[in-house]
Amino acid sequence: MNRWPPLKILLFANASWNIYNYRMNLARSLNAAGHQVHFFSPHDEYSTLIDTPEFQWHPIRLDRKGINPVREWASIRTIRRVYRDIQPDIVFHFTPKCVLYGSQAAKQLGIPHIINTITGLGYLFSDRMMHHPMYSSLLKFLYRRALRGTRVVFQNPEDMAAFQRWQIVQEPQAHLVRGSGVDLDRFLITAETSQPPIVVCPARLIREKGIDEFVAAARLLQERKVQARFVLVGRVDQGNPSAISSQVIQRWVREGVIEWWGWRNDMEKVYQDSSIVCLPTYYNEGTPKTLIEAAASGRPIVTCDIAGCRDIVEDGKNGYLVPIRNARAVADALQRLLENPEMRVQMGIHGRQLVKNGYRHQIINALMMEIAGIAPTPHDTKLTDATNEPPTRDR
């Protein structure tokens, strides 16, 4: 691993909230190592939180789902201009357009080190889209072209194997880093306080996240007279073709099936208030951060047996894996947990240990910096044994 002098490093994502929620720990580690960190993202309510004396933020107009050629070309020109002005030594790209557009700009400008993270296959690689041969061939061509000569980070082994099978990446350039890390000092185990128990589903409100299945499972459990509250936490994903409208959600609320807490910045409090976390997703996940946070908070999980989710849930140990699009299976798993408080406690302890062993942000940051060829800070390399953490933190 190279140990370089201070570098200029740019992190590019399709939303400032993405950087704030998923990349700040990495940025702080890079800054602590003496490097100058720049953020590049569209303006949103989180932009002021990442534009600080510690970091430099650069705005861009980037529609993550737009296909208007004039607007897309304007975004590409902005990327080139910002890259030319900053002249970064290393660029980290997150989310599809940033990977596709940013990689080409970085190569054209001779930026030496390009790190692309595939945070799940998402909507672009969904069965609905890949069913069309011309679209599938074009998408694979664009990714193959963008990723050639770069280092590529995957969040689960299935996605990495798929990109290798499609000959988009070669084995030497592919790296596995499970998720974006979690702060164990923020997400702590606390005793359950809510009666009846709360089952929370934290997700973007799109159908592929299993929202319909969660609501159907809540109905089934209410019919079975199982005492619990069922809560959606998240915002409507405007512009997504499978978004669930706020009108539909409000109708569920009026029916008394679920509660809707909207978007929450204090997810550590949400997990503390909950008893179980449920994400019946069939989306092309990377490694869902909500599940890592839930496990860190000592909450048992019910999720689907798909790539990414099965990495953070050991079936029967810190939660249950269920088949996709199966509300009855979700309801059955939730009922087992709701009727067994001691099981919830034991599963929560196991989940916390799982995160300590492999998903702490110190571990993830050290891996990302190693892939980039950067020496991690002593804080990130001091990966002490999990059992050394004072037990008072978990109580």
Q: Who contacts 287 (Cβ-Cβ below 8 Å, separation ≥6)?
A: 120, 155, 156, 178, 179, 308, 311, 312
Helices then strands, counting H and E runs in the chain, come out as 17, 13
Q: What is the largest CA-CA distance in the chain?
A: 64
In this predicted structure, what is the pLDDT of residue 381? 54
Cα dist. 313→79, 308, 318, 390 in Å? 38, 9, 6, 25
**Domains 8-180+360-386 and 198-356 in one fold:** yes
Environment class of residue 155 by beta-carbon count within 10 Å: exposed (0-12), middle (13-18) or buried (19+)? buried
pLDDT value for 390: 31
Q: How far apart are CA 395 and CA 275, in angstroms?
A: 15
CA dist 309 and 318 (Å) reads 12
Q: What integer pLDDT is reported at residue 237 of this predicted model?
A: 83
Q: Which residue in 19, 94, 111, 7 sits closest to 57, CA to CA?
A: 19
Q: So what's the pLDDT on residue 321?
A: 98
Nearest of 297, 309, 390 to residue 348 by alpha carbon: 297
Q: Report the C-alpha gap between 108 and 241 in whole angstroms.
A: 34
C-beta separation of 237 from 205 below 8 A? yes
Provide the residue ranges of all domains of the chain, joining segments of one domain with +. Answer: 8-180+360-386, 198-356
- What gap in Å lies between CA 11 and CA 153, rounded to an integer? 14
pLDDT of residue 123: 60
Reduce the DSSP state of residue 191 to 3 states and report it.
coil
Angle, helices 211-223 vs 327-338, to 10°: value is 60
- Residues 176, 141 contacting (CB under 8 angstroms): no
The fold of 8-180+360-386 is Rossmann fold (3.40.50)
State the angle between helix axes of 24-32 and 361-372 in degrees (0 to 180), rounded to the nearest 10: 60
Domain 198-356 is classified in which CATH homologous superfamily?
Glycogen Phosphorylase B; (3.40.50.2000)
Which residues does the chain have with pLDDT short of 50? 1-2, 384-395
Query: Are 175 and 156 in contact, with CB atoms under 8 Å apart?
Result: no
